């Protein structure tokens, strides 16, 4: 395996070592973790530079062969909500600069994640002369559109995102819908945009026999289980799922229905004091379905295949979703899946072939699709098998690393960008 260069992977809030499922720890953490290891397997050496949010770990932690996590001091060494981190980004940039210039190895390019790291990368580009590859993970314009006054993003976010679009050498969009959003809400030159979908770890997220998964989790073989795995934040639409499930319970008195909700701030949900979990539990009580709902609590990636495997149907119905890794995980586990027809989910789910799509915030439509699948085991099996095959073909992290590396190589070779009217999809 030939050596291909050193990558500074900047991820200000999403530390790949962090526990997943809690506030501000989700898909970006997975992306940075899996892509960094995948790039290392291709011959790159990767340093992940992330803000120190805990005083205990050493400055540098080995994540795996060829990958290190560097904890950069910026603000107090404690958790800070990502929307409150903006004021600490000048210090974070200085910390990244100091570390990078102190390394003998030198760096080939910067790969930045999320808008604040993109701002840092643009500053480092000016000071170090390194090219920048950037991925937004989520766009401020879409968050503002969907959340309105509830959007807590700093006021500078859209201005900074437009700067990144001008100054980054390549922009990675995770799906065609993101490209359309960039056109609609940001405009400008899209010649440097490449579509590189994210992926799923198909060894970790695998088909587990339902009988075995249920036996280990204490779920009865006769139960009809609808599942959700993900973060507990309003935009994920878990309240829509609970309302749809309540419709099923009302329509099917006596049916052995169970809603399994995995996620939150604590492993023991009784110790979780988050506002969102309290809201969801209150909604379940109000709708009279609390006894049918199993709030599991936070679980780590290595445990999740059994929870996916125990379900008859997995659901993810966010208001909006830039890409969404849990739909891919559910499909990799061979589960029948229902998702919102938004953003990246419309790309990773082929409606009627690998899953079913419904409008966001529509509990009646969701309940109808759930009823259809609960009544049709053959359809559930067909969707699950087709989903697993498509994931193996198109959405492994090895493919993501290969596609990303081809973007790096194209950039470093100094090829002339394609015309501004075109947007490249990196080939499989």
The pLDDT assigned to 414 comes to 83
The pLDDT > 90 percentage for the chain reads: 87
Q: Looking at 159-243, which runs of residues are DSSP E strands? A: 170-173, 193-195, 224-229
Domains 5-199+396-425 and 210-394 fall in the same CATH topology:
yes
Q: How far is CA 259 from CA 296, 333, 334, 376, in A?
A: 10, 18, 18, 18
207 closest CA partner among 354, 309, 298:
309
The pLDDT assigned to 422 comes to 40
Domain ranges (residues) in the chain: 5-199+396-425, 210-394
- Whether 233 and 22 have beta carbons less than 8 Å apart is answered as no
The pLDDT assigned to 421 comes to 38
| Residue 152 host element (H or E) | none
Number of helices followed by number of strands (H, E) in the chain:
15, 15
pLDDT band at 25; cut points 50, 70, 90 = low
Helix-helix angle 275-287:238-251, to 10 degrees: 20
Strand partners, 3: none
The pLDDT assigned to 105 comes to 78
| Top-confidence residue, 362 or 189 | 362
pLDDT band at 85; cut points 50, 70, 90 = very high
The pLDDT assigned to 324 comes to 84
Token output for 373: 């699948």
pLDDT digits (tens, 9 = 90+) for 47-57: 999 999 999 99
| Second-level CATH architecture of 210-394 | 3-Layer(aba) Sandwich (3.40)
Q: Characterize the bridge pairing of strands 67-72 and 60-64.
A: antiparallel
pLDDT, averaged across the chain = 93
Token output for 381: 């099996």
pLDDT digits (tens, 9 = 90+) for 395-425: 999 999 999 999 999 999 984 444 433 444 4
Measured CA to CA, the distance from residue 46 to residue 155 in angstroms comes to 32
Token output for 160: 């900074």
Q: Looking at 149-289, which runs of residues are DSSP E strands? A: 170-173, 193-195, 224-229, 257-262
Cα dihedral sign for 171, 128, 141, 75?
positive
Least confident of 83-87, 187-191, 247-251, 381-385: 187-191
pLDDT band at 427; cut points 50, 70, 90 = very low
The answer to whether residue 1 scores a pLDDT higher than 90 is no
The answer to whether residue 19 scores a pLDDT higher than 70 is no
Report the greatest alpha carbon distance in the chain.
Answer: 68
3-state helix, strand, coil in the chain (%, to 5): 45, 20, 35
The pLDDT assigned to 97 comes to 97
- Whether 91 and 74 have beta carbons less than 8 Å apart is answered as yes
Q: What is the CA radius of gyration of the chain?
A: 22
The CATH H-level superfamily of 5-199+396-425 is Glycogen Phosphorylase B; (3.40.50.2000)
pLDDT digits (tens, 9 = 90+) for 134-143: 999 999 999 9
Q: How far is CA 38 from CA 31, 393, 397, 398, in A?
A: 10, 17, 7, 6
* C-alpha torsion angle, residues 214, 331, 229, 134 (rounded to 10): 150
Token output for 395: 């959405």
Measured CA to CA, the distance from residue 276 to residue 281 in angstroms comes to 9
Query: 3-state SS of 71-104?
Result: EECCCCCCCCCHHHCHHHHHHHHHHHHHHHHCCC
| 87 Cβ contact list (under 8 Å, min separation 6) | 75
Token output for 360: 């966001």
Mean predicted confidence (pLDDT) in 233-256: 97
The answer to whether residue 426 scores a pLDDT higher than 60 is no
pLDDT digits (tens, 9 = 90+) for 156-215: 999 999 999 999 999 999 999 999 999 999 988 899 999 999 999 999 999 999 999 999
Measured CA to CA, the distance from residue 311 to residue 261 in angstroms comes to 11
The backbone torsions φ and ψ at residue 109, rounded to the nearest 5 degrees and listed phi first, read: -160, 170
The answer to whether residue 20 scores a pLDDT higher than 50 is no
């Amino acid at each position: 395996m030939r050596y291909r260069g050193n990558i500074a992977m900047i991820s200000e809030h999403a530390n790949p070592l962090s526990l997943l499922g809690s506030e501000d720890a989700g898909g970006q953490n997975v992306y940075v973790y899996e892509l960094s290891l995948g790039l290392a397997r291709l011959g790159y050496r990767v340093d992940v530079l992330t803000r120190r949010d805990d005083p205990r770990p050493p400055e540098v932690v080995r994540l795996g062969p060829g990958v290190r996590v560097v904890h950069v001091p910026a603000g107090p060494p404690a958790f800070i909500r990502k929307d409150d981190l903006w004021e600490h980004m000048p210090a974070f940039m200085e910390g990244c600069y100091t570390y990078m210039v102190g390394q003998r190895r030198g760096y080939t390019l910067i790969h930045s994640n999320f808008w604040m790291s993109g701002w840092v990368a643009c500053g480092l580009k000016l000071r170090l002369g390194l090219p920048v590859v950037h991925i937004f993970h989520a766009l401020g314009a879409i968050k503002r559109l969907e959340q309105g006054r509830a959007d807590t993003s700093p006021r500078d976010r859209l201005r900074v995102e437009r700067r990144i679009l001008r100054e980054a050498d390549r922009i990675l969009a995770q799906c065609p819908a993101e490209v359309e959003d960039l056109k609609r809400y940001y405009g400008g030159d899209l010649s440097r945009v490449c579509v590189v979908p994210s992926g799923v770890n198909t060894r970790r997220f695998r088909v587990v026999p339902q009988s075995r998964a249920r036996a280990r989790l204490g779920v009865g073989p006769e139960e009809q289980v609808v599942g959700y795995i993900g973060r507990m934040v309003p935009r994920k639409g878990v309240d829509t799922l609970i309302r749809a499930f309540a419709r099923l319970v009302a329509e099917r008195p006596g049916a052995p229905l169970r809603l399994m909700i995995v996620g939150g701030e604590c492993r023991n949900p009784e110790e979780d004091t988050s506002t969102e979990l309290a809201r969801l539990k209150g909604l379940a009580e109000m709708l009279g379905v609390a006894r049918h709902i199993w709030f599991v609590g936070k679980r780590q990636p290595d445990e999740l295949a059994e929870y996916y495997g125990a379900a008859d149907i997995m659901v993810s119905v966010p208001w909006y979703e830039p890409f969404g890794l849990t739909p891919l995980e559910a499909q990799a586990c061979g589960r029948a899946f229902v998702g919102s027809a938004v953003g990246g989910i419309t790309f990773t789910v082929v409606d009627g072939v690998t899953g079913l799509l419904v409008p966001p915030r529509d509990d009646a439509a969701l309940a109808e699709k759930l009823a259809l699948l609960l009544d049709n085991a053959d359809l559930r099996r067909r969707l699950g098998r087709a989903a697993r095959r498509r994931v193996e073909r198109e959405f492994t992290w090895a493919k993501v690393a290969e596609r990303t590396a081809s973007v790096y190589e194209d950039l470093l070779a100094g090829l002339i960008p394609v015309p501004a009217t075109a947007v490249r999809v990196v080939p499989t």
